[in-house]
Amino acid sequence: MDESSLPALTRQVLAAAFGLAVIFGALCQRTRFCTMGAISDVYTMGDWRRARLWMAASGAAMLGFQALAAGGAIDPATSIYTGPRLLWLSAMVGGALFGFGMVLGSGCISRNLVRLGGGNLKSLVVLLVAAIAAGATLRGITAVARVGTLEKVFVELPSGQSLPALAAGLLGGSAVHWGWSLAGVPGLLLLALASRGRQERPWQVLVIGGAVAGVITALWWVSGHLGYLPEDPRTLEPVYLATNSRRMESLSTIAPVAYALDWLLMFSDQSKTLTLGIATVGGIVAGAALMAWKDDSFRWEGFANVGDLGLHLVGAVCMGVGGIVAMGCTVGQGITGVSTLSVSSFLAVGAMVAGAWAGLRYQEWRLEQA
């Protein structure tokens, strides 16, 4: 490919990412798909309906990612989740902090993007503060603390930290072969568990979860196949077009909201270019807004009082810092990262659930003290 064709291909990648994010935003607005909401429903009412949606999405995403890898469309080793350095302490501490924060912030980052599309101004404040905190943890004052403390604790894995790569390194065989084996069992198990609910039609859960997984899988293809050049005509090196990490990416929201704010603030700086992550942030809001307009559910909403504002600010900071430390949010790690069968993703998700549980207990305690 010659250099003159790069802008057109980059626009294709960005347009595809935006379109897929619009679908995701509309789907979440219509179905109330939300990891924090799912945990809250189980904690407060023993209601597993939204949790089953998350199970179906995660299980189907595992199968979708491995299908792309088996077909040679993507290279699993090139994602940010499957690198050789296992930052296990960062995943656990960051995940717990993010989980706690999303309870105080009335939802994770993706949920706040969806709620913003529906007219919730509280979500706008949460997203702005979370973006500032995330940006500081990427390159600012809290980044110094992150690199100097948590990231000094890691395990170096020569074969990479995905379960298929680990199995291939220890037991022999190809990572692709192990990928089908290791993704098939938990993937199908999660789909089976998701379809066991008695309060809704099983096919609806599988369709919604499958649609979410379809967006994740399609974005893997867009970034890892459509946007991949084995040889960049400008540098003669491999390149993934329009990604902030310079690696293959799919749907995540915490780092992208920081990049989006930076892009808006520094728009005239030609080095700040539109990326896949920024496009997905805008797409989620647009999709949710379109669905809210269609359903006539768009409503302006603000903070009830100063105490409500304070809790949301603390939650936003916790999500901004914790999400970067854990390398993802409940979508970025909980579905996208888990689809790669990354060890750190499983650790981060477990910590997010524990942190959310602690946040719900804290909220319960506050009500008792009132």
CB-CB neighbours of 290 under 10 Å: 16
Q: Which amino acid is at 342?
A: S
**What's the rounded Cα separation, in Å, for the pair 252 and 183?**
21
> What was the pLDDT predicted at 200?
60
The beta strand positions in 78-237, using DSSP E, are 85-86, 155-156, 228-229
**Number of structural domains in the chain:** 1
pLDDT digits (tens, 9 = 90+) for 207-243: 999 999 999 999 999 999 999 999 888 887 899 999 9
Cα pseudo-dihedral 71, 72, 78, 80, rounded to 10: -20
Query: How long is the chain?
Result: 370
Summary mean pLDDT of the chain: 93
**What's the rounded Cα separation, in Å, for the pair 42 and 70?**
36
Domain assignment of residue 340, given as a range: 3-369
Q: Is the pLDDT of residue 62 over 70?
A: yes
**Closest Cα partner for 11 from 286, 251, 279?**
279
**What's the rounded Cα separation, in Å, for the pair 109 and 88?**
22
* pTM of the complete model: 0.95
pLDDT digits (tens, 9 = 90+) for 78-112: 999 999 999 999 999 999 999 999 999 999 999 99
3-state secondary structure (DSSP) of residue 357: helix
pLDDT digits (tens, 9 = 90+) for 311-327: 999 999 999 999 999 99
CB-CB neighbours of 262 under 10 Å: 20
* Candidate from 57-61, 92-96, 118-122, 185-189 with smallest mean pLDDT: 185-189
Q: Is the pLDDT of residue 199 over 60?
A: no
